[in-house]
Amino acid sequence: MRLPENLRRLAYRLAGREPSIEDERLFALFRNRVELKKELTALDDDRHRLLDRLKLQEGATMRVEEQMAALEQYLGRPDEGYKSLAYYQLKALWRVGSKRLEQFGAELARQQKDRERKSQLADFDRARRERVARVERELVEDRVLGEQLQAEQKLARQRLASLKGFWNYFRRRALFDAIQTRELRIAAATDQIESLTAQIQSIESEPPPLFEGLSVDGRRAVNIAVIGYAELLYDRLAPGGLADLARQSTLKRVFDANYGTPQECQGLMHKASQAVADIERMSDDLAEIKTRADRLRRSAVYRNPDETVPNADSIAEQDVRADARRIGPNVLLDEYWEIYRALVR
């Protein structure tokens, strides 16, 4: 109920009368009217937002339709058809290389995760066994002490039973006090044994820790291998400049592509199609990837201790025999095969 209504009720009560049923109905209608206005305003805001999104979508659809019309007109010219086919063949080659790199990174990350999880569980199990062993050593000592006390107590009770006559009164009294004191020690030892047994059960029933994800070193190892794999893909496609041409197809429009005469375009399409098939059938050369990863690891520099992707400048492959001239592209800097999608952060 709102403040004006409270004030009106208070005024009615000060005047010595209660609000009538009609007044209550008016108050209820007023409240309902306010709530309806709020809902209407919210719905109106939603309507304007949806209209704005519809206008944006209509604009995007119109631009796509214009691009399709321009492309149809462009492809309708015979001299441009071969060029366009070669362009899209190169884009298909780029997508296949990117997919292969992403699959390699995902599988490597999964394997690294399994290794780290197994190592974590092994460390946890080893630490748990060590804790159990320490408690068990204490338990053995307390059990030996308890058995010793029980044996001493049995002998003391037998001796107490053998002491007859009034002349053994003081000896019986001293022996009885010793038995009582030993009984307290036996009770304490029994409690300690039960506590240690419960502690062992508690340790053995502890669940393993949750796996919080790959470590920084693990992610760095995966990323270094992914960079090495990207370099390997580039080298596989370097003959004929296919790797560079595939990358250029992602940087310019089909209208700006130019691959020479129709015969040259046909030759390029044949090479690209063959390269797609080769990449799809390619087996991972783990030895070569390891060699590249070792080289990259030696030169990799990171911005901070938590960074998992090395600085692009630090992994540039150099040829020291030719005045430090680069002998290959920087796949990280040039973002070959959409490498950042395959890297683990």
Residues 200 and 222 in one domain: no
Q: Which two tokens stand for residue 326?
A: 């680069």
Q: Is residue 131 part of a domain?
A: yes
pLDDT band at 166 (very low <50, low <70, confident <90, very high): confident
Residues 62 and 85 in one domain: no
How far is 77 from 84, CA to CA, in rounded Å?
Answer: 11
Q: Which two tokens stand for residue 322?
A: 């030719």
pLDDT band at 153 (very low <50, low <70, confident <90, very high): confident
Q: Is residue 118 part of a domain?
A: no
Q: Is residue 93 part of a domain?
A: yes
* CB contact at 8 A, 108 and 289: no
Q: Is residue 187 part of a domain?
A: yes
Query: Is the pLDDT reported for residue 147 higher than 80?
Result: yes
Residues 198 and 299 in one domain: no
Q: Is residue 210 part of a domain?
A: no
pTM comes to 0.69
Q: What φ, ψ does residue 317 adopt, rounded to 5°?
A: -80, 125
Residues 314 and 183 in one domain: no
What does the pLDDT read at residue 320?
Answer: 37
In b/e form, how buried is each residue of 87-98, taking b as 16+ CB within 10 angstroms? bebbebbbbbbb
Residues 318 and 223 in one domain: yes
Query: Which domain covers residue 162, as residue numbers?
Result: 123-204
Q: Is residue 250 part of a domain?
A: yes
What does the pLDDT read at residue 201?
Answer: 92
Give how many domains the chain has, as a whole number: 3
Whole-number percent of the chain with pLDDT over 70: 85
Query: Is the pLDDT reported for residue 105 higher than 90?
Result: yes
How far is 225 from 238, CA to CA, in rounded Å?
Answer: 20
Cα radius of gyration rounded to whole Å, the chain: 42
Q: Which two tokens stand for residue 154?
A: 């049995």
How far is 344 from 305, CA to CA, in rounded Å?
Answer: 15
Residues 108 and 228 in one domain: yes
Q: Is residue 68 part of a domain?
A: yes
Residues 187 and 227 in one domain: no
Residues 38 and 157 in one domain: no
Which carries the bigger pLDDT value, residue 129 or residue 253? 129
* Residue of 236, 260, 239, 265 lying closest to 90 (CA atoms): 265
Residues 337 and 224 in one domain: yes
Residues 335 and 223 in one domain: yes
